[in-house]
Every structure is written in C-alpha cells, then in structure tokens.
Structure 1
Amino acid sequence: MAQLARLLWLNAAPEQRDGQSIEAFAVDLAAWWAENDSHFAFVARLDESELVGMAWLAIVSRVPRPGATSRRSADIQSVYVVPEYRGNRVGSALVQAAADHALALGAGRVTVHSGRKAVPVYERLGFASSRQLLQKERMPS
C-alpha cells in the first residue's frame, strides 16, 4: 500500500497534495480501497520490491436492460510510470493488462481520460475517440 501511495503521490501536482504526508495519504488510500471493491490496481515491479508503474481500473455496474441484466463499463485511471522507466512500454503493458481484465469481467467498453502526450499510446493500444462519449466538468468556483 505504501508503494502505491508513493506512485499516486508522485503523479499528483504539488498543489494537489495539500500538505499531506505520503504516510498519511497511504492510510487514507488503504481506507478508501477497503471501501471500494470496484477498483483494481495493476503494478509494474523493477524487482521483487520496488514498484515503477501503476494503472488503476474501475469497474462500474450499469443499469440493467431487458436481455442484459449484468452490464458493466470500465475506466482506466491514474496511469503512472516513474520517469526513468518511461519509453520502455511499461505503461502500455499496464494499460493492456487493465483493459484485458475489464473485458474479461464483461465490460462492454473501457474508457480512459488522457493527457495530450499519451493519446498516441492509447491509440496504439486500440482506444479511439468517440463523439458519443461526452463529459461535463465542474466549473471552477
């Protein structure tokens, strides 16, 4: 848990950390994960001890329809690879493993919200933009 917290910490902008220590965040992460069995963490290890990358997968139950009572969607979240290990397909392998797991669990689609630089990576892995998938962001206060 401490290593996952470290990767999430490194992936966050300093202003998002809000003065919280990595250790305190690890406690919060463990409590959150214990309450959210809809999320899976995929990790890449340098050796038996050090994590160098992660990708999170959220599985969401969808409203049943006649003939399809166990619909699911999936969202890949918080993909991060330690900078010195980028460019070695670590991130691609994590995303592929998460997407494969989602589809094996019966997800009808797998989505990802990406930064501009990572779009070509996701496209190489079979992701495509869709005019039907829309989003509305919260307005700044």
Structure 2
Amino acid sequence: MKIRLANKRDIEQLIKMRWDFTLEDYPEMGEGVKFSSFENECRRFLGTAIDSSKWFVWVAEKNGQIISHIYVELIQKVPRPGRVTHPFAYMTNVYTVPEYRGKGTGSKLLSRVNEWAEEKKLEFIIVWPSETSNEFYGRNGYTHCAEPMERHF
C-alpha cells in the first residue's frame, strides 16, 4: 500500500468514491440526482483543491486503485501578539472502501496525516465524526472537545 497526496490523475477515482461514500450512508441523497451533474461540480472542486495550498487530499493506494482517502483543509488563524500563530486543519471526507475496512488501512492513512500535521506544526485537527466512526478516531488519538456553535442559513 502506498500513501501519498492526490494529484489530478486521481480525480476520476475520487469523484466515484465521494458518490459511493455519500450514497452508502445517505441513499436518499442520490434520488433524482444525475451522477453527471454531481461529477461536474466535484471535478471543479477537486481540480481547484489539488492545485491549492489550502486543501490536501491524502490517499492510500493499492495496485493503482485508491482504497482510502482523507481531505484536509488548512485554516489560517488571525495572528496574536506575543506568540507564533500556526494554522489548524479541518479534516473531512474520511473514507475507506468497504473491502479494506477493519484491516488497518484507514489507521495507516490517518497516522500519515497526523505525522504530516506535526511536520507542518499545525495547532490541531478538527473532525466531526459520525457515530460509527467515533471508535476509529479514538483509537487514533483523537478526543472529544466542547461542541462548537453553529448557525444555519
């Protein structure tokens, strides 16, 4: 298994995985939605994200196939007097294809992301786990924090 940052050659696989990931948990979201319209939107996002210095898409690959991925967005903090300000990261879209779950694939990928975050001197990584993924994150050193506040529009 090879762990690396995604590149533009990975876009087709990443689009399909995002579609599969969503419909696995929320099958109703695919009702009445054409894959082609989703594909176009996702292709634009990924093309921009992969070229940016803000998004980092980490993948685990086996025999040329992406079997797991993690998306990380860097969030710059406003500087504060008297201390060096480091960004933090928002981690999302953490997914391993079903046949590779429970075999350490996701943990190996997450471990590499954690190493990278330390190398980049990120202050912290935040993730909003699903109920079913709480155990996975706990095994990998993540802890619950106070709930953030939000406002929907």
Name the TM-score class by shorter chain: 0.7 to 0.9
- Number of aligned residue pairs: 136
Name the TM-score, length of structure 1 as normaliser.
0.83
One of 57, 76, 80 as aligned partner of 1:41:
57
Unmatched 5+ stretches in structure 1: none
Cα distance change, pair 119–102 in 1 and its aligned pair in 2 (3 A): same
The equivalent residue for 1:10 is 20
Task: Give unmatched runs, 5+ long, in structure 2.
Answer: 1-10
Equivalence for 2:40: 27
2:136 is equivalent to residue 124 of structure 1: no
Paired residues of 1:76 and 1:99 also in contact (CA < 8 A): no
Amino acid across the alignment from 2:104: R
Two-structure CA RMSD over aligned residues (Å): 2.1
Larger helix percent? 2
Instruction: Pick which of 88-97 and 65-74 moved more.
Output: 65-74
Residue in structure 2 matched with residue 85 of structure 1 by the alignment: 100
Q: Distance in 2 between matches of 1:78 and 1:56?
A: 6
Q: Structure 2 matches for 1:41-120, cutoff 5 A?
A: 41-48=57-64, 50-68=65-83, 70-120=85-135
Percent sequence identity is: 23
Instruction: State the 4+ residue runs in structure 1 displaced beyond 6 angstroms.
Output: none
Query: SS state of the match for residue 107, structure 1?
Result: coil
- Whether contact under 8 Å (1:39, 1:59) holds in the other structure is yes
